[in-house]
Amino acid sequence: MTSAPTKSSTERRTRSGAGQPSWPFVIVANRLPVSLTRRKGEKHWTTSPGGLVSALTPIAQRAHGAWVGWSGSVDDRLEPFEHDAIAQVPVTISRQDHHDFYQGFCNRTLWPLYHDAVQNPEYHRHWWRSYVAVNERFARMVAETVQADGAVWVQDYQLQLVPALLRALRPDLRIGFFLHIPFPPAELFARLPWRRQVLEGLLGADVIGFQTERNRGNFLRVVGQYTRAQASDAGPIRHDGRRLQAAAYPISIDFELYESVALAPDTEPRVERLRQRLGSSRKVILGIDRLDYTKGIDHRLRAFHELLLSGLVKPSDAVMVQVAVPSRERVAEYAELRRRVEELVGQINGEFGEVGVAVVHYVRRNLTPENLVAMYRTGDVMMVTPLCDGMNLVAKEYVATRFDNSGTLVLSEFAGAAEELTDALLVNPHDVDGIGAAILSALTMDPVEAAGRMAKMRAIVRGHTVHDWARSFVADLVPARQRRSILGG
């Protein structure tokens, strides 16, 4: 997507002559749904990476609301604009914020801490100060953007202080917060030197949403431990004379959209071309992930390598395709993961590939929606094996594209999606032998059994889409009369 944004009504409505903000519904996330890059001085907009953006874009489009976030480029001072039928309200992130807030506190403190500390989290006071300052900036921008008695939906770990900061500025608003990543067990959360401040930030919301009941339970436990709020498993939380709700709202995808792209006439020829390039008689084992150390990419490559070494899988029978979407590349742990993955791919191909015939195809880029769906349709075995993951929408997207009930999903027990997709082949992603065994069973599964499992998973994803997710959250957040305008009927 490289089309140019327009100014349209957005600018007028956020900075109107009378200085009155006028959006009734505002989504706030660290990133805008589109990211700015500059090539030869020209601006290009591309879809931002990650599950958050893919889930919320259809909601924002239906709601005709505004989206407050960062453009993805540092030191930019952009005016509000409209793009993809969404009013985009940019917040400036300086080079220093990028270092201390984004790469530091968000992605070297909170991200590893909230993902089971699979990498060691670092705690630095200047990173925390930057986190506070950037959250304050977001809260001020939202306060200027949303109309009286409007509703605001704050997203994810980068903005946990915004609910309380915004409430202090605008007590008239209804404020929701949704955490897309896991909320960690109390023993891990307790390490955070600023644990009380983070909890008090979240408690500024009226509704706090988590991916799973387990995450909600973890949260209630630490609220009881580290704040003065009264929290119990049943009933609302009481804090500061207010009642607020914490609940699980498992996120999902736009099932119909993925299915319709899968059924579109130009998808099958793309799939055919991919199959021919990969070798028509070989089964395709597929992984599609952000290049992130929580995703277990290296573990799954090792499992495939061992299957080849054991001779249980032959290069003429199966091929692995790993699509890795570049992510947080300046953070050291991500650079190290990339090095490890690329070394493994090289090693496996060196040992088992032939000239012109690879056993692992590694593609490090973002795919267009059409190519993504063609890739899903090409995968006979889909590997979604994160070490820890809030939900994982790739698993649900794959299922939505398998309209003929073909294909097998191998899914980590530690992805939120495993609570719903119990007909996948569930694996412990740390267990390299277990992953290998799951790959083997997927490759050899009786087609009738595979189709039965896929049909059940499809019914589950079809029965709870991203629109249902948004509807249930918004129903808890705003009074009935406001819901219709937000959810578009």
Binding site for ligand G6P (CB under 6 A): 30-31, 49-52, 156, 180-181, 327-328
Residue 93 or 382 with smaller CB distance to ligand G6P: 93
**Among 206, 380, 389, 423, which one carries the catalytic annotation?**
389
**Among 83, 98, 180, 361, which one carries the catalytic annotation?**
180
Residue 49 or 204 with smaller CB distance to ligand G6P: 49
| Residue of this chain nearest to ligand G6P (CB atom) | 50
Residue type, 234: A
Collapsing DSSP to helix, strand or coil, 351 comes out as helix
Residue type, 385: T
CB of 55 to ligand G6P, least distance (A): 9
Nearest to 477 by CA among 213, 223, 189, 173: 173
CB of 334 to ligand G6P, least distance (A): 10
User: Which secondary-structure segment (H or E) carries 250?
Assistant: none
Residue 99 or 238 with smaller CB distance to ligand G6P: 99
Q: Is there a catalytic annotation at residue 423?
A: no
Work out the angle at residue 153's Cα, subtended by the Cα atoms of residues 473 and 142, and round it to the nearest 5 degrees: 165
Token pair for 16: 């109107």
* 85-120 per-residue burial string, b: 16 or more CB within 10 A, e: under 16: ebbbbbbbbbeebbebbbbbbbbbbbbbbbbeebbe
102: region left, alpha or beta (phi > 0 left; psi from -120 to 50 alpha): alpha
CB of 107 to ligand G6P, least distance (A): 6
CB of 37 to ligand G6P, least distance (A): 13
Residue 180 or 338 with smaller CB distance to ligand G6P: 180
Within 10 angstroms of residue 391's Cβ, the number of other Cβ atoms is 25
Q: How far apart are CA 312 and CA 268, in angstroms?
A: 31
Residue 156 or 200 with smaller CB distance to ligand G6P: 156
Q: Is there a catalytic annotation at residue 98?
A: no
Token pair for 182: 């896991």
Residue 172 Cα to chain centre, angstroms = 30
Token pair for 340: 């490890």
CB of 101 to ligand G6P, least distance (A): 11
Active site residues: 180, 389
